[in-house]
């Protein structure tokens, strides 16, 4: 494993509540990513970070915000969760001089 943990691994919450997912790496890699995976869609990029306090949007960023105050942590926040955000969320990391991304174990989020 590439030294990536995600927490929580499972969460059930109600519509309208805020939710924060955490991705933690021990590799000191510059790039970090948040994807969501839904049936029939594969993985889709939500946001990514290219350094501390440096983030950018992916293809499905609406309804999500991110923060990276330390190299090792990348947080994904759903300010007001909706049922359409029920999904499996994966974090990934990438070293600066590599093309490959290395993925965490995922967080299964259910919004009721």
What are residue 85's phi and psi, to 5 degrees?
Answer: -95, 5
Q: Nearer Cβ to other proteins, position 26 or 80?
A: 26
Nearer to other proteins, 8 or 18 (CB): 8
Enumerate residues 16-35 that contact other proteins by CB under 8 A: 31, 33
Q: Before 8, cis peptide (omega within 30)?
A: yes
- What secondary structure letter does DSSP report for 97? T
Of these, 25, 85, 87, 101, which contacts other proteins (CB under 8 A)? 101
Burial 61-77 (b: 16+ CB within 10 A, else e): beebebbbeeebebbbe
Q: List the one residue from 61, 72, 106, 110 that touches other proteins (CB under 8 A).
A: 106
Task: Note the residues at the interface with other proteins (CB under 8 A).
Answer: 4, 31, 33, 40-45, 48, 50, 56, 58-59, 90, 92, 99-106
């Amino acid at each position: 494993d590439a030294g990536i943990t995600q927490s929580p691994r499972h969460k059930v919450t109600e519509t309208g509540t805020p939710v924060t997912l955490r991705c933690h790496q021990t590799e000191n890699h510059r790039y970090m990513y948040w994807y969501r995976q839904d049936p029939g869609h594969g993985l889709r990029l939500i946001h990514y970070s290219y350094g501390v306090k440096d983030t950018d949007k992916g293809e499905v960023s609406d309804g999500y915000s991110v923060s990276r105050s330390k190299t090792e942590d990348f947080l994904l926040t759903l300010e007001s969760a909706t049922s359409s955000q029920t999904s499996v969320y994966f974090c990934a990391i990438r070293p600066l001089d590599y093309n490959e991304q290395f993925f965490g174990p995922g967080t299964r989020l259910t919004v009721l």
